A and B are shown apart, each in its own frame.
Chain A
Amino acid sequence: MLVEITAVIRRDKVAPTMRALDNLGLGSMTIATVSGRGRQGGNIMTDIDREVPAEYESVSKITKHLTPASFALSHSLTRPVFWVPKRMLTIVVPSPMKDDVVDLIVSTNQTGWMGDGKIFVSPIEESLRIRTGERGTSSI
């Protein structure tokens, strides 16, 4: 039985995550460049673009609005970030290893701030190594 672990994480956490997974003996993964937004619906660019000062008083009202980004746009606060650049790791592992991998990803990626990302676990019905035609657990 195989499971697919899809983790959407910060860009600068890809290398630490890969190193940590290497230590666990799981080197294989697929990395994709994606853009993401969470429950907050984007963000406001303050740390990245320091030349445009954010009006913090107005920022505190943001929770009453649809998303921080749409509020920022309508009030010309500062540059809204509708999409945050992220990396998506897709790792297929045997189901007994699932908890180890999830714990590892959580512990390496946790900063405590919004935008740490999500992990989704879903079942894989079939897996095949193209070179040899092996199926199931031996194919990964």
Chain B
Amino acid sequence: MKMIRAIVRPEKENDVVLALEAKGFPAMTKMNVFGRGKQKGITVGPIHYDELPKVMLMIVVEDNESPAVIDVIRQSAYVGYEGDGKVFVSPVTESYTIRTGTRSE
């Protein structure tokens, strides 16, 4: 399994979630995070912002599903400007459903 962590614009969160849901990936965890990228934040007039609010979506899927999920996120979170966010993929060796205690690899 793969854990996909996508850091997206808060205003794009709903689009991403609905797009994933439509493709059959309704299960995910989201959290509000702050981040900055390669540009070290943004400067608007005299003020420099280096803690930009973002939403992190965490989705765990089977290995063969991860390219599809990444595609969906790329299309739905895309604006075309700096700050669109990042997607990170990491391995998950096993997962458990607490309600039933079943294990899956």
Chain A interface (Cβ < 8 Å from any Cβ of B) = 3, 7-9, 32-42, 66-67, 70, 82-83, 86, 88, 102, 105-106, 109-123
User: Is A36 in contact with B98, judged by CB distance below 8 angstroms?
Assistant: no
Cross-chain contact of B97 among A42, A118, A121 (Cβ < 8 A): A118
Q: Given the interface contacts A37-B26, A38-B27, A41-B26, does A105 sit within 8 Å of B94 by beta carbon?
A: no
List residues of chain B with CB within 8 A of the CB of A8.
29
B98 CB contact (under 8 Å) in A33, A70, A109: A109
| Most-contacted residue by chain A among B17, B26, B91, B101 (CB, 10 A) | B26
Contact B30 A34 (CB under 8 A): yes
Q: List 5 A-B contacts (CB under 8 A).
A: A40-B26, A66-B21, A86-B29, A114-B99, A121-B94
When chains A and B are docked, how far (Å) is the Cα of A110 from the Cα of B58? Answer: 22
Interface size on B, residues (CB 8 A): 24
B68 proximal to A (CB < 8 A): no
B3: interface (CB < 8 Å): yes
Does B96 contact A118, Cβ atoms closer than 8 Å? yes
With a cutoff of 8 Å between Cβ atoms, the chain A residues found around residue B101 in the complex are 106, 110
B75 beta carbon closer than 8 Å to chain A: no
A39: contacting residue among B1, B27, B92, B93, CB under 8 A: B27
Restricting to B70-105, which residues have a CB under 8 Å from any CB of A? 90-99, 101
A4 → chain B closest CB, angstroms: 9
Q: How many A-B residue pairs have CB under 8 A?
A: 84
Q: Which residues of B are found within 8 Å of A82, using beta-carbon distances?
A: 17
Known A-B contacts A32-B31, A86-B29; the reply to A122 vs B98 at CB < 8 A is: no
Q: Does B7 contact A (CB under 8 A)?
A: no
Closest to A117 in B: B98
Write out the residue numbers on chain A whose beta carbons fall within 8 Å of the beta carbon of B26: 37-42, 66-67
- What 9 pairs between A and B have smallest CB-CB spacing? A41-B26, A116-B98, A116-B99, A119-B96, A36-B29, A34-B31, A117-B98, A122-B92, A121-B94
User: Measured between C-beta atoms, what is the minimum distance from B23 to chain A in Å?
Assistant: 11
Residues of B within 8 A of A86 (CB): 29
Q: Which residues of B contact A88 (CB under 8 A)?
A: 29, 31
Q: Is A110 touching B99 in the complex (CB atoms < 8 A)?
A: yes
Which single residue of chain B is at the shortest CB-CB distance from A115? B99
Q: Identify B21's interface contact among A41, A117, A119, CB under 8 A.
A: A41
